[in-house]
A = this chain, B = another copy of it.
Amino acid sequence: MRDVAVIGMGMTKWGELWEKSLRTIFVETALLALDDAGVNRIDSMYVGSMSSGVFVGQEHIASMLADYLGQNPIPSTRVETACASGGLALRLGWMEVASGISDVVLVGGVEKMTDVSGYEATYALSTAADQEYEGYHGITFPGLYALIARAHMEKYGTTREQLAMVAVKNHHNGSMNPLAQFPFKITVEAVLNSVMVADPLRILDCSPITDGAAAAIICPVEMAKEMGKPVIKIIGTGHATDSIALSSRKDITWLEATYQAAKQAYAMADKKPHDIDIIEVHDCFTIAEICVLEALGIVEKGKGGVAAEEGITSLEGKIPVNTSGGLKAKGHPVGATGVAQVVEIVKQLRGEAGDRQIKEARTGMTQNMGGSGGSTVVHIFERE
């Protein structure tokens, strides 16, 4: 197995991009990544997209996007594991390069979510839950995460204010990310007074509906060095599954797939949680960030809320989390999110993160999660 490096990345401004189609958003983003890497030919590509079929009536996008990127007839593969599709695309791209099958691979993610109504988007997202045991009975994702939040509050004493502090921190970070959908600060009071969605979660606890794409170019480390590129190595990868229905889990406050994926990635990278300098995690709802940090071993079980309150995860804290603004402020075009996490980590490790740059960041991690935790992909990166 060869060592693999990320040598290019691209992301365009996220938001409600009504004037652009899925293919346009993806190709613009992929071209930025190719430019950044300094290559114009790729051997293969992987695209993460959760539900292009339901959102825009278009499956078969791997071939379509390879063609519109001018790369046909290369192999091009779409992968899906709900909101973790982007992270999974990176994992498969890594596998293809590490194994020696290909040298230069594009890894991308895309979702076009605002061509349908909010009601239809909520339905499309609900296809990541267990339709027969959850969806058909009327529950959607805010409701599922509200159950998790309520259980966490009961079990560990997590407060309503601590949930709000996660959103406040991520919007603070996102206010320095010009590509974010909502690049502005919010206050705890604003969160507490925002519209109720599913008790205890309010609208400012929820990540938004977003159009967007992200892309990265990977190749063997040796090739990256020959090209004179900054070498951001992929030193760990993990992928694990869990039941996609909450009702099948022993403890809904514990994200077992995240724990398992992280265990694999830590072992491969030979790292412990305290070795990680920065993390991008899947904060689709404020409670998600809290549970994820516990499952990753970054904080003790039950202490995710306290971590936000004490500022441990802020830009100035011991372990900055979601320096990009996270899904909350940056936006959450579901299939693209996992790759956008990679974009942020690469920017930080290269020292190109502008006002939100973390000094001396050398080791970064991404955690990308599907549904209410039914799948998780974790990667660890290191600057040489």
Give A contacts to B, CB under 8 Å.
Answer: 1, 21, 23, 50-51, 53-54, 56-60, 62-64, 66-67, 72-82, 88, 92, 95-96, 98-101, 123-124, 126-132, 135, 239-244, 248, 256-257, 260, 370-371, 374-375
Complex Cα–Cα for A240 and B45 (A)? 11
When distances are taken between beta carbons in the complex, the residues of chain B under 8 Å from A63 are 81-82, 241-244, 257, 370-371, 374-375
Task: Please determine whether B92 and A101 come into contact, CB atoms closer than 8 angstroms.
Answer: no
The answer for the CA separation of A56 and B56 in the assembled complex, in Å, is 16
A244 with B64, Cβ < 8 A, contacts A53-B54, A127-B59, A257-B73 known: yes
Q: In the complex, what residues of B have CB within 8 A of residue A130's CB?
A: 58, 64
Instruction: Note all chain B residues with C-beta closer than 8 A to A58.
Output: 127, 130-132
Interchain CA distance A244-B243 in the complex, whole Å: 35
Q: Chain A contact residues: over half helix, strand or loop, or mixed?
A: mixed
Given contact pairs A60-B370, A77-B88, A375-B62, A241 touches B82 in the complex (Cβ within 8 A): no
Between-chain CB contacts (< 8 Å), 16 pairs: A1-B99, A1-B101, A51-B53, A53-B124, A54-B59, A57-B127, A62-B81, A63-B257, A64-B130, A66-B241, A67-B241, A77-B239, A79-B80, A95-B95, A95-B99, A98-B99
A239 to B96, CA, bound (A): 13
CB distance from A61 to the nearest CB of B (A): 8
Q: What is the CA–CA distance of A293 and B67 in the complex, to the nearest angstrom?
A: 24
Given contact pairs A63-B375, A75-B239, enumerate 6 new A-B contacts (beta carbons under 8 Å): A58-B127, A60-B128, A60-B129, A64-B243, A73-B260, A98-B99
User: Does A62 lie within 8 Å of B80, measured CB to CB?
Assistant: yes
A377 and B75 CA atoms in complex are apart in Å by 9
Report yes or no: B60 in contact with A375, Cβ–Cβ below 8 A.
Answer: yes
Q: Which of B57, B99, B371 contacts A60 (CB 8 A)?
A: B371
- The answer to whether B80 touches A78 (Cβ under 8 A) is yes
Residues of chain B with a CB closer than 8 A to A129's CB: 60
* Contact for A241 among B76, B256, B260, CB less than 8 A: B76
Cβ-defined partner of A242 (8 Å) among B72, B100, B371: B72
Residue of B nearest to A54 (CB): B53
A82 contacts across to B, CB distance below 8 A: 59-60, 63
How near does chain B come to A19, taking the closest CB pair, in angstroms?
14
Inter-chain contact A80/B59, CB cutoff 8 Å? yes
CA distance A179 to B245 in the complex (A): 32
Known: A63-B374, A64-B130. A57 touches B135 (CB 8 A): yes
Chain B residues in 8 Å Cβ range of A374 = 60, 63-64, 67
Q: Is the CB of A75 within 8 A of B240?
A: yes
How far does the alpha carbon of A213 sit from the alpha carbon of B1 in the complex, in Å?
33
How far is B52's CA from A135's CA once the two chains are assembled, in angstroms? Answer: 15
Complex formed: what's the CA distance from A88 to B77 in Å? 8
